[in-house]
Chain A
Amino acid sequence: MILGAIYAIHAKDILSAVITGGIVGYSLVICFLLLKAPDLAIVQIVVETITLILMVAVVLDSSRTEAYSKLDTQGWVTAGTAVLILLILFWFMKTASAPLDHFGQGSLRMADAYVNGAMDKTGSANLVTGVVFDFRGYDTLGEATVLVTAVLGVLTILRIKGKK
């Protein structure tokens, strides 16, 4: 997964960079399956495929070569600042996550109520659907609204010529 990401940055041809970017997405599917999240795995594998098709179609219509340029002084300063900020953020993350429980082993009070009570309260055999559409209904409504807004934005940008 990490190798695919690194190769995608350094690839000369944009098409191969897009396809190695696909490697990252498909390895994420395997990660989801290993973490016992089949719902997410289904969504991820289909979305990854459609995105890859779209990206390949876009790349085939463009020039396919990336414009390279030598780093000047300002470039080095920018790169140095980026690395510095990355280190500071990593240190903050390490400090903030030190008092937390080990991943997947701590006992969360909210999760306990969800896992044990969802079946009786929602009558849904699939726990994820019970949480997504019943306990967290507002979140799902927000997601659907975000999707509609994204489509509206795309139509506004792309279809100006057609509406005239």
Chain B
Amino acid sequence: MKGMTIIVKKTTQLIAGIIFLYGIYIILHGHLTPGGGFAGGVILAGSFILLILANGSDFLNLVREESGSTLYENLSILVFLLLALTGLLAGANAFFANWLPHGIPGELVSAGFLPLYNIFVGIEVAASILTIFLALIIFKEEVLR
């Protein structure tokens, strides 16, 4: 897949990092401000999609990237499930039990398990949307050959 002109390339190289940081901020502050795992994950995927669309990418590079994103997606949903299962082992003996100390509401490290759930759901959403996008691009490249 070919890239775009040099103006678009430079602009996206400047902007993509800021978008990525904004996604991380939305995920980490999901239990304090509006947003959370789903919204932040889509923003993270958006920064990757912006870079791929503007700069283009080699075919083999895309395939390697896709296998990596599939791995991250499956691992993060597994970790999410295991975190939910720890509620069975400790504390209240219930699935999705929030047995970590809650802390002071309003601080960054508070609310027990909720920030961890947010982080892993964010990784999962970002990886899966990126995987769908990469699969479509790779399919197009294979058809064009």
**Which A residues form the contact surface with B (CB < 8 A)?**
38-39, 42-43, 46-47, 49-50, 53-54, 61, 119, 122-126, 128-130, 132-134, 137-138, 140-141, 143-145, 147-148, 150-151, 154-155, 158-159, 161-162
User: Does B106 touch A at the CB level, under 8 Å?
Assistant: yes
Can you list 12 A-B contacts with CB-CB less than 8 angstroms, sorted by A residue number? A47-B42, A122-B111, A123-B103, A123-B112, A123-B114, A129-B118, A130-B111, A133-B117, A134-B114, A143-B38, A150-B128, A155-B70
- The secondary-structure label for the interface of chain B is helix
Contact (Cβ within 8 A) B31 A126: yes
Knowing A39-B39, A43-B39, A145-B77, say if A122 contacts B102 (CB, 8 Å): yes
Chain A residues near B53 (CB-CB < 8 A) = 53
Chain A residues near B136 (CB-CB < 8 A) = 54, 154, 158
Chain B residues near A150 (CB-CB < 8 A) = 128, 132
Contact (Cβ within 8 A) B77 A38: no
Contact for B124 among A49, A134, A147, CB less than 8 A: A147
In the assembly, what is the distance between CA of A148 and CA of B30, in Å? 22
In the assembly, what is the distance between CA of A124 and CA of B116, in Å? 13
Sort A-B residue pairs by CB-CB distance and give the 6 closest, nearest first. Answer: A123-B102, A137-B96, A38-B34, A124-B111, A42-B39, A123-B111
Binary contact readout B109-131 vs A (1 if CB under 8 angstroms, 0 otherwise):
01111100110010011001101
